[in-house]
Amino acid sequence: MSQNGHSAVLPIELGPTAMVLGELALADGVRFADHEHPTHQIAWASAGVLTVRIGERQWILPPTRALWIPAGCAHQTASLRGAAMRGIYIDAATTKWAEPTLVSVTPLVHHLFDHLTRLSGRDSIAARLRAEAVLFDLLIPTDVTTLRLRWPEDARARVVADTVARQPADQRTLAQLAAEIGIGERTIARSFRTDTGITFGRWRTHLRIAAALPLLADGMAVARVAGRVGYSTPSAFVAAFSREIGVPPGSYFR
């Protein structure tokens, strides 16, 4: 299910304070096409999982993570397993980060989001300003890596990439996948290195990790996730994830 930008659903009408918040329940699979806002945005869901894509980068956001999106930055937003998305918009004159930045949502930050969402225009502007000041101080970037999954431009390599993306657990070798479309393995391998900057093997590892993140965010056990994305043992999955991301999968969303 695709929609246009959601500012029409959550209108942005900043008043005398720097931040406006609203709530929007999203069904599973709802996707907002590329759009941008004249304000900064914090993409966050109090329940469920959001995904945000900006160019080649994708962020998976359970309730413990949020993404700062600078004003004017084109992005796509989607809901996984349904999401209670908060519309958190911030005056573009407010300086925080000039680039998309992943932040931790601690229990205290969560409570402040809730508090500011409940406050209405009848409440004291001074009270809102105090809460906003505390919240801005508590927004701290997380120390995790975000994968950049670049698709190959070569049409033949893209067929292989699309095939693997549809089923990350596919165990066929590059030679087998290339033979299926009548192309030599070396040709496809060269296209992946040229177009994506990495080998096909590492590209498939990145794809599998990207496919694993929504499952991990949804609370699925690491052992089950490993099998779902093509690893024969949980230890092999943990090793690949830790090597590419820098932390084990069980720690990524904590």
**117: its two tokens:** 């969402």
169 and 232 share a domain?
yes
**16: its two tokens:** 């005398």
Among 65, 248, 58, smallest CA distance to 146 is for 58
Is residue 145 assigned to a domain? no
16 and 128 share a domain?
yes
Measured CA to CA, the distance from residue 140 to residue 109 in angstroms comes to 10
102 and 192 share a domain?
no
Per-residue exposure over 102-126, b if at least 16 CB sit within 10 Å of its own CB, e if not: bbbbeeebeebbeebbebeeeeeee
Where the chain has pLDDT below 70, the residues are 1-18, 120-123
162 and 239 share a domain?
yes
188 and 127 share a domain?
no
97 and 27 share a domain?
yes
121 and 176 share a domain?
no
Q: Do you know the residue count of the chain? A: 254
6 and 123 share a domain?
yes
Amino acid (1-letter code) at residue 251: S
- Which residues, listed in sequence order, are joined to residue 104 by a DSSP beta bridge? 65
Tokens 């084990």 locate to 248
- Whichever domain contains 128, its CATH number is 2.60.120.280
Is residue 149 assigned to a domain? no
8 and 124 share a domain?
yes
Q: Which domain holds residue 223?
A: 155-251
Among 222, 179, 239, 175, smallest CA distance to 201 is for 175
Final residue belonging to a domain, choices 110, 138, 166:
138
- Whichever domain contains 170, its CATH number is 1.10.10.60
**244: its two tokens:** 């590419």
172 and 238 share a domain?
yes
Final residue belonging to a domain, choices 82, 111, 138:
138
60 and 18 share a domain?
yes
Q: How many domains is the chain built from?
A: 2
13 and 90 share a domain?
yes
pTM: 0.76
Is residue 143 assigned to a domain? no
- Which residues, listed in sequence order, are joined to residue 165 by a DSSP beta bridge? none
Say whether 85 sits in a helix, a strand or coil: strand
Is residue 18 assigned to a domain? yes
